[in-house]
Amino acid sequence: MISASHNPYYDNGIKLIDCYGEKMPEETLLLVEDYIDGKLHVFDKDWPELPFAHREHIGCTVDYVSGRNRYMGYLISLGIYSLVKSKMLV
């Protein structure tokens, strides 16, 4: 995510979060910083150029619209159940 706030400009920037919405481990953040800074010595190996992912090594995308639509369909399907004779505690 990209952050901006009322704090000084150097507190703003790109924040890297993991799949759980939490801050990534410090060692991962340092690797990303090194990559951005053009440092090509990573994992005890010198790279002649920046390694880019390709084909099967590229991540995948998630179609959230499709998931939302399936969930909405599920919620609508719950409408076939009657609660007329059900007892509700208040």
Q: Which of 41, 6, 31, 43 is nearest to 16 (CA)?
A: 31
Instruction: Name 11's Cβ contacts closer than 8 Å, sequence gap at least 6.
Output: 5
**Any idea which residues carry the catalytic annotation?**
5
DSSP string, 21-88: SSBPPHHHHHHHHHHHTT--EETTEE-SS-----GGGS-----HHHHHHHHHHHHHHGGGS--TT---
